[in-house]
Amino acid sequence: MQLDDKDMALDMELMIKQMIQSCTTAEIHASNKDLRNEVGKLCSEMKTLHSKLSNMMSSRGWSKIAVASQQAIESEIIIWEQKPLREPQLTQ
């Protein structure tokens, strides 16, 4: 099976997202300040790479950003506003 450019870009995007998640976790848990700073720089580079890849994919029509309806946005706002009422332990 041969992948075309679009499939490879989508695969790269998924890998970069996973790397960003891993870098963020490592940065949070690093106890050494120098290590935390270096991992933070790496994470920042991954975010820049993701941004460039996303822009390239969008310019070629390979990815579309979904636009939420006003009703969906308002529903999410209400859910977040009511979250402390449903889960009071989050406000402590």
pLDDT tens for residues 4-46?
Answer: 999 999 999 999 999 999 999 999 999 999 999 999 999 999 9
Look up the pTM and report it: 0.67
* The length of the chain, given as a count of residues: 92
**Which distant-in-sequence residues (6+ apart) come within 8 Å of 16 by Cβ?**
46, 49, 50, 53
Buried b (16+ CB within 10 A) or exposed e, 14-42: eebeebbeebeebbeeeeeeeeeeebbeb
Q: C-alpha distances in angstroms, 10 versus 21, 48, 66, 84?
A: 17, 16, 16, 37
65, pLDDT greater than 80: no
pLDDT band at 91 (very low <50, low <70, confident <90, very high): low
- Report the C-alpha gap between 59 and 42 in whole angstroms: 26
90, pLDDT greater than 80: no
- pLDDT reported for residue 25: 94
